[in-house]
Structure formats: structure tokens, C-alpha cells
Amino acid sequence: MIKILLVEDNRGDARLLREALAESAGVRFELAHVERLGEALRRLDEEAFSIILLDLSLPDAQGLETVLKVHARASHLPIVVLTGTENDELAAEALRKGAQDYLVKGKVDGNLLGRSIRYAIERKHAEEEIQQNLRRLQALQEIERAMSTLDLRTVLDVLLKKIDFLVPHSATTVRLYDKTTALLEPIACHNIPEQEWKSEAWRGGRGVPNIVFQSKSAWMTPNLQSEPRLRDPEFFRRNGLVSYLGLPLIAKDEILGVLSFYTKEEHRFTDQEVEFLSTLAAQAAIAIHNSQLFEEVRSSRDAMEQANKIKEEFLSVMSHELRTPLNAILGYTEMVRDGMQGPVNEQQQRCLEKVLTRTQELLTMINGILQVTSMEAPRKTHLQPVNLNSFLDDLRSTYEFPSDRQVKLHWDYRDLPIFETDAEKLRHILQNLINNAVKFTPQGHVAVAARYVLERHRMEFKVCDTGIGIPPDKLPIIFEKFRQVDGSETRLYGGVGLGLYIVKQYVEALGGKIDVQSTVDVGSAFTVTLPCITNALRAPGGNGIAA
């Protein structure tokens, strides 16, 4: 049945049009006739029509004004314009203003009028479909842009708002599967009382979304209130929810939850609607999956940070507590070795020397752990002018001791500037590099050099050795915390793998960089480059090559 609103002030023309419709083959119609535009607009507000037959010459409106006003009031309805004169230019303009067809009243018969009505309705539906597809495409693009965020709440808010725009007079809900409770938990909703929807009565697998979740496919019903599988129809009656479409949210072949649509009046979702909303659900599922992954990563990161904090606090406390008895062991062992507690024979002397050496190594490890734990806090530097010649003279003096190792130290520095740096950190850097070089050089030599690179305004410190070298595949890890080239339990060289980590951290804290070149069984060369003020004063004195 086609319900027609005829707007025509000439009763004779109106009678002829009614008779023509009666003669039209294949058209069943119901005709409502008004003579003025004002009355037509009122009827459009109160009743539902299929099409409008509109005269362009009325007592209260003339020409294209009638088309504009009717189209503004009922843009969803097709309009067939009626006029007493044949005017192609006026017809074209009427079509541009919103009409679907144009007829000259004196030339209308039943078949022509019937064809025009069917054509106008079909053309309007096609136009609406094109506009709807454009709106859907635009909405999908906007949703895609908005869903690039990794925040789940933002994703769902954008999704529900856009759905409300695309599917009017509807309500929408999102439930996500919680692996800990094994339930579809209520997450977000639109146009439904949230507190009532999220109440305990709706949990535990009682809602219709569970049908969708279990089947992992779309499910719909034209009338929820009479659906036999529904356990709680009263909620839907109370909120005026009639038809239902549920779509699974699937990403990476895993079902994450259910996206549900409810309409306020009975509605049968078309294949085209289901296809579009399924596309939207797939897009939403990907965004939800990404946001869940992000939350998992963030939670793991927070847990890891907390674990690291606890670990660093534990190491710091334990290092402090261990250092106290170790210092006592060192002190009493030196007293016994030096004969302060009585004579010591040669064999006892050798044993005490080994105790002192091992205890000192253990104390060095503990000090390294303390340094690392202190570096986990924001790194601060205490810059002050440093006379590098005097600084290196002092450092060199600490290595002038007899050793049972067949390793010689060579020092090369002269005419170095006074420049601002953190002397304590620089000392740790060079000591760690030198100690490492000596440690991994069974025999041969270690060279320590320093020079001022004028053209780059940089200080360059280099520590080279003729030791065992580092394999190329191990170079990327040597500056990592608690890492050694030989990580086996049977490694030949002791230590906890903190020396080079501390070096790199301190070098970066001073604004510099460290490079390494190494060849297995040939040796290694570590180069530290630090920024230096351009107007640095030369320090007096200095040394040449020293053995």
C-alpha cells in the first residue's frame, strides 16, 4: 500500500489525479488531499506517508518555494512536482531542490502517474542508500582514526557515539569476556540505564549476548520480549527494547566479547545492515584487542618496575650490610699478616695474602652493586675544574704496586687542559676500564692514553690491551648489567658483570660516548670521548710515555 499526500488547491485537478491513480495498473494507494502548504506540513508532522504529489502553485506558496519547504520538513520522502505548464528549466531546478520527478497535469494518465510514483520512490530509496553509504564510510573512517588510540574507554566512547548516529532510535551495549571470571562482563552501553544494565541479575550467562558468544556468529530476533530463550524479558519491556542484533567481537581468531544492538520498535535488520555493522564490529574488535594488549604490557611494565625497585632496594641494603663484616675481615686479616697478633710463617703468609685478595675482590663486587643501585635514581653530576695531568698522575700512582701478573702498564698523556667534569665519575670510568684490561690480559701490556682533540673540542681517553679479546657476537651485550662474555658456570674470570655497565652509565651521564674495538686473541681498545670547554687552560707539566 502506497500512502500519498496530494497537495493541490484545484479540486478539479485533484479529482482527475485521483481517477488516474484508480486506473493505474499495479498501484494500490491511499490518498490524502490538502489544498494548502501549511496544512500539508502539519499532516507530514502527524502522519507517515510514502510519497508527496506537490502542486507548484498554491495559495500560501508559489514555485520552487513549495519544494524547498516540503523537502526541509520531510527530506526522507520522494516528491513528484505537478504543474499546469511544461517548463523544462523549472523541472530541472525542482529536481535540484529535492524533487524526484516532474509531471504536467494536463498530460497525466493512470499509467504515467503510476510509473512516476514508482520511479520517484525507487529513486529516493537509491539516493538515501547512496547517502547512507557515504555516511557509513565517513563514520568508519572517523572510527578508524579515533580507534588508533590504545585507551579502551576512548575506543568504546567513540564507537557507541558513531553507532548512535548511524543506527538511530537504538541502544547499544558492549560486553567483554573476562578470563578470570569466565563471564561476559558489562563494559559500556548507550541509551540504556547503565546501573540497571550492569546489575548483578544480568551476569552469569543470563543475557542474550551469551547466545552470540557461544555460537561466535551473528544472532538476531525481531522481538526480544517474546523470545522463548530469554530469561529476563521484563528489563526489555521496561526500557522499550524490541528487536535485537548481536555480533561477536573477534580479533586474531579469538572472541573478545559481543557488540549488541537493540531497537525501540520492531525492526528486521537487512543483509546490508548486518554486513555493515559486522564490518564495524570487526574494526572495533581490532581496536579493543590492541588496547587490551597495551594494558597487559603496561601492567607487566609496572609490575617489572616495582620488582626492579624492590630488587634494587634489597641489593642496596644487602650490599651495605655485607660491606661491614668484610671490612672487619680485611682489617683483622691484615693485622695477622703483618704479625701484630704474633709471628706468621711463610706458608701462613701466602694463605693470608689469598684471603686478602679474595676478600678485596668480594668487596669490589659489593661496591659495584652499590654503584649500580645508586645509578637507578636520577643521575647527578658534580662538575668542577679538573687538572687532568695531576688527575692522571694520581690515578697512575694507585697502579704502582708489585704484581704476580705478567702485565705491564704504559701511560701516555701530556699537556692536557683543565676542564670541567665530575672527577669521581671519571675516576670510576678509567679504573673500571684499566682493571678490566688487566683482568683479561694474562700476559702482555695495557696502555692508557689521554689527549685533547682541539678540532672537536673533546677529551679522548683510550685503554688498550693485548688480552683475550671479545668475539664479535658478544660486543652488543658487554655493556649490559650482570653480563659477561663468558656466562657459563665454569668461566675462568670472576666478577658479576657490572664494570662496563657502570662505565657506560657514567660516560653518558657526563655527556660522552664509549666505543670498543676488539679482536679475539689480539686484544681490545676502549675509547671514551667527553665534551671539553673550548677555552680550556693548559695544565702545566705532564708526562710522556711511561712504563
Can you name the residues that pair with 538 across neighbouring β-strands? 417
Q: 144-282 sits in which CATH class?
A: alpha beta
Separation CA 410–CA 463 (nearest Å): 10
The mean predicted confidence, pLDDT, of the chain is 81
269: cell is 535488520
**CA proximity to 257, closest of 179, 204, 161:** 179
Sign of the torsion angle spanned by Cα atoms 79, 84, 85, 86: positive
pLDDT given at position 388: 93
- Range list of β-strands (E), 84-225: 101-104, 170-178, 183-190, 219-221
Q: Where in the chain is the domain with CATH 3.40.50.2300?
A: 2-134
Average pLDDT of 302-313? 69
Q: Where in the chain is the domain with CATH 3.30.450.40?
A: 144-282
pLDDT confidence bin for 308, thresholds 50/70/90:
low
**For residue 59, with 0-12 CB atoms within 10 Å meaning exposed, 13-18 middle and 19 or more buried, which class applies?**
exposed
**CA proximity to 333, closest of 308, 319, 315, 350:** 350
pLDDT given at position 482: 57
Separation CA 363–CA 319 (nearest Å): 9
55-97, pLDDT tens digit by residue? 988 999 888 889 999 999 988 899 999 887 777 788 788 888 8
Q: What Cα–Cα distance (Å) separates residue 537 from each residue in 128, 392, 421, 422, 460? A: 82, 17, 14, 17, 16
458-470, pLDDT tens digit by residue? 999 999 999 999 9
Q: Report which listed range, 32-41, 314-323, 497-506, is most confident.
A: 32-41
Topology of 2-134 in CATH?
Rossmann fold (3.40.50)
Q: Where in the chain is the domain with CATH 3.30.565.10?
A: 384-546
Residues, the chain = 547
Cβ-based neighbour number of residue 263 at 10 Å: 21
Tell which wins on pLDDT, 460 or 229. Answer: 460
126: cell is 537509491
Separation CA 449–CA 545 (nearest Å): 9
Q: 384-546 sits in which CATH class?
A: alpha beta
pLDDT confidence bin for 450, thresholds 50/70/90:
very high
pLDDT given at position 403: 60
**CA proximity to 326, closest of 365, 282, 375, 376:** 365
**Taking a C-beta distance cutoff of 8 angstroms, is the pair 245, 261 a contact?**
yes
109-132, pLDDT tens digit by residue? 878 888 888 888 888 888 877 776
Edge-first strand order for the sheet with 101-104 is: 29-34, 2-7, 51-55, 79-83, 101-104
Question: Considering the chain, what percentage of its residues have pLDDT values greater than 70?
Answer: 81
Q: Is the pLDDT of residue 394 over 60?
A: yes
- Range list of β-strands (E), 129-253: 170-178, 183-190, 219-221, 244-251
All residues at 6 or more sequence positions from 235 whose CB lies less than 8 Å from its CB, including other chains: 196, 197, 202, 241
Can you name the residues that pair with 262 across neighbouring β-strands? 171, 244
321: cell is 650490610
Separation CA 260–CA 230 (nearest Å): 15
Average pLDDT of 423-440? 90
Separation CA 240–CA 262 (nearest Å): 9
pLDDT given at position 536: 44
Q: What Cα–Cα distance (Å) separates residue 412 from each residue in 392, 448, 513, 524, 535? A: 10, 6, 21, 17, 23
